Structure 1
């Protein structure tokens, strides 16, 4: 088996560690290099740390660390065999600069350059991003929406792009789940399941629980440091359950949820075009989903008929949407039942990448 040389923009990132595990399970030899973000090395295999910085360090200050770390790696490295695997544009920019004429796979999980405020610099980075895609052996993109962002409605000519959404770990089947059958439209249990870091979620939770005292809003997950205690809505029908373990706790959580909320802040193009795994949790657990308007996710949810969209900052829109859910909920449940649960499991990705 050939060697796959990974360069990770965060050695503690769960997504890339899952991808590495997939290659190992298929029998590939892997060599791991990456940047430590002031976290412990959560992966068991040996990793060569090539740079360290805090998660709070602004992107423009990380550039020097990426540059020095990747330059030093390829100056020392004598590996000529195998394929390189670059996680993210921040890594790929410098890896392709210092590792010329080497075969590589590029994985884009986020449109990181869309957060750059300078329009000219953002355009340059978009051009470089598409160039890295074009020159790759394969580019793994985690959302069809990202392809839409890069190429619009035009059909992209490159056959080296493979779309692998962030579906559910097959481990989920080890935790039996019984779908919630006792829907009560007089007491709907809305829930956000994940890290709480978007103010749009606080906005919709506050509006729903103020305007509908009979309904509930539940938060499952840690509260990001970017959210202060004062910003958290404290209505009597809002509940904060704290952190949970995935996938172990998901079955129990979803058995107590009627509508999973995925109304991320659309001010960022990255969020606007992303395809979060909440979509796949919604399908697997037969739980209708509520998403933000004017997003790629909205298009997919409405096309499948499995949920609703709303402007999380528009109180009137929120009220009208909740009333619609009260009346229409069972139709969305029926649409969810038509989708095979096995369709949303994350399987055979290595074969898709290396075929």
Structure 2
């Protein structure tokens, strides 16, 4: 069994992908510690506790003021300080762990440098390939970062991606052990409480980063003009909090919940009718996206609205699990009309979605992959 340090450049408040990984490791006898970057305010490292299904693990959060979805320029100072913190903490505690499990390039490169120097194992987990998620493809700095990130992939003891499609995105690399761990929820659907929302109107829901490339402000504007549906939204970051606080007050069919813990996110999604994962297809990384919302919708048996030419939209279209739209308001409005007319088919969609989830994406299947990964490194 290993002593594992998981590192992520967000506060893990929540961050389901890391929390599920940590829980799986704890459940299988490994010891886990988490390092995290809180961008809300500046503060010295804090030793806190992260509650998981299978126990509680230490999490060390450092506060370095930054901006979610702010890009490299707005976060460069914080990013450099976070790298120094990672290396310093790893050096001070090097006798206490065997494996570093690093998420994305903004933790992976520093983690790799330390791991190779001090003979530690490293698992490189790629929720988002850096040059595509930060709009750097084709630039000089993008070329440099691609070269650096590919070196992490090539030298890590194992690499984790979130869909089979991502193999195309990292084409040209030569990972030693490559595994696919989907962003599947680890939830007990039957344990979720009913929220008793209005059953007369079609309820759309989105909970996540409040970024403009998620089309969420446009969803709100479309729904605000209608009387037959509602939009329930939660999340943080991305610069749209004030917008949703204001529109919530202005329209009776727009509901903004702010930052939500994961259990309340699932409860809200379960209470609504349609889940939204409408990402801007002009962003290269969105073609390979594996939105949590896609997997949560399958597990909950909910139809989805997704944008054409974005990750997993082809599955929604092929399997008839919702609506795939063009990235504009008219297409969304038409999709809502169709969903209202097909509301009587929801039970059929639910059965199909849950069957696909169980056969292809269930968290039990993902746990088997994680166990295999940690047995070979």
Q: TM-score, normalised to structure 1's length?
A: 0.80
Q: Identify the range of structure 1 (28-37 vs 268-277) with the bigger mean alpha-carbon deviation.
A: 28-37
Q: 1:103: which partner in 2?
A: 121
Checking the alignment, whether the CA contact within 8 Å between 1:189 and 1:215 is kept in structure 2 is no
Q: Deviations over 1:1-41 (max 9, x none)?
A: 23223333345353323322321221112344444444874
Inter-CA distance 321–119: structure 2 relative to 1 (3 Å threshold): same
Checking the alignment, whether the CA contact within 8 Å between 2:209 and 2:238 is kept in structure 1 is no
Shift of 1:288: 0.8
Q: 1:12: which partner in 2?
A: 12
Checking the alignment, whether the CA contact within 8 Å between 1:166 and 1:277 is kept in structure 2 is yes
Q: When you count strand as a share of all residues, which structure comes out higher?
A: 2
Q: 1:297: which partner in 2?
A: 312
Inter-CA distance 281–122: structure 2 relative to 1 (3 Å threshold): same
Q: Deviations over 1:299-347 (max 9, x none)?
A: 22213221112234x2332333333334455557524413435455423
Q: 2:169: which partner in 1?
A: 149
Find the residue that maps to 2:262 and give its secondary structure.
coil
Find the residue that maps to 2:182 and give its secondary structure.
coil
Checking the alignment, whether the CA contact within 8 Å between 2:66 and 2:75 is kept in structure 1 is no
Inter-CA distance 281–75: structure 2 relative to 1 (3 Å threshold): closer
Alpha-carbon distance in structure 1 between the residues aligned to 2:107 and 2:343: 44
Inter-CA distance 261–162: structure 2 relative to 1 (3 Å threshold): same
Shift of 1:238: 2.5
Q: When you count helix as a share of all residues, which structure comes out higher?
A: 2
Q: Identify the range of structure 1 (272-281 vs 8-17) with the bigger mean alpha-carbon deviation.
A: 8-17
Runs (5+) with no aligned partner, structure 2: 51-55
RMSD (CA atoms)? 3.6
1:161 aligns with 2:178: yes
For residue 25 of structure 1, the aligned residue among 27, 43, 60 is 27
Checking the alignment, whether the CA contact within 8 Å between 2:210 and 2:238 is kept in structure 1 is no
Residue pairs, 1:36-51, within 5 angstroms: 36-37=38-39, 38=41, 41=48, 43=50, 45-48=57-60
Alpha-carbon distance in structure 1 between the residues aligned to 2:211 and 2:97: 42
1:280 aligns with 2:295: yes
Checking the alignment, whether the CA contact within 8 Å between 1:109 and 1:142 is kept in structure 2 is yes
Q: After TM superposition, which residue ranges in structure 1, 4 or more long, deviate above 6 angstroms?
A: none
Checking the alignment, whether the CA contact within 8 Å between 1:205 and 1:238 is kept in structure 2 is no
For residue 160 of structure 2, the aligned residue among 127, 132, 140 is 140
Q: Identify the range of structure 1 (200-209 vs 79-88) with the bigger mean alpha-carbon deviation.
A: 79-88
Q: Deviations over 1:156-213 (max 9, x none)?
A: 87561111111112344423779x9x997xx533232445443611113312442xx3
Q: TM-score, normalised to structure 2's length?
A: 0.76
Residue pairs, 1:80-229, within 5 angstroms: 82-100=98-116, 101-114=119-132, 115-117=134-136, 119-151=139-171, 158=175, 160-175=177-192, 187-198=201-212, 200-210=215-225, 213-222=226-235, 224=237, 226-227=239-240, 229=242
